[in-house]
Amino acid sequence: MYAILETGGKQYRVSPGSTLRIEKIDGQRGDTCTFEKVLAISTDGSLKVGNPYVEGARVRGTIVRQGKARKILVFKYKAKSNYRRRYGHRQHFTEVRIDSIEGNA
């Protein structure tokens, strides 16, 4: 059994028990979160695809942790004009463990 859900402008394929990192959502460790934007659900070989979302389907998960990803360095450079800029960025994320997928396929 798996579902394809949309959150943070990205799509993820999830199954019960899996853990994934998504764009930061509000909540503390241990809070439950519900994803209503389910694009498709597959159970026992049958696939139900929404238009654009499957009605009545939801994915429930538990927030494992909030954090920041590794730092990436951005370096801008223009030749022959003495232009150099360097800065870093750490993206916030939420790690979620998928508990259940609700909805019939």
- Residue 88 located in a structural domain: no
- Residue 58 located in a structural domain: yes
- Residue 28 located in a structural domain: yes
How far apart are alpha carbons 14 and 39 in whole angstroms?
11
- Residue 30 located in a structural domain: yes
CA 54-57-63 angle, 5° bins: 125
Whole-structure pTM value: 0.84
pLDDT of 92: 97
- Residue 35 located in a structural domain: yes
What is the count of structural domains for the chain? 1
- Residue 45 located in a structural domain: yes
pLDDT over 70 (residue 105): no
Structural domain harbouring 24: 2-66+94-102
- Residue 73 located in a structural domain: no
Q: What is the pLDDT of residues 22-75, one digit of tens each?
A: 999 999 999 999 999 999 999 888 999 999 999 999 999 999 999 999 999 999
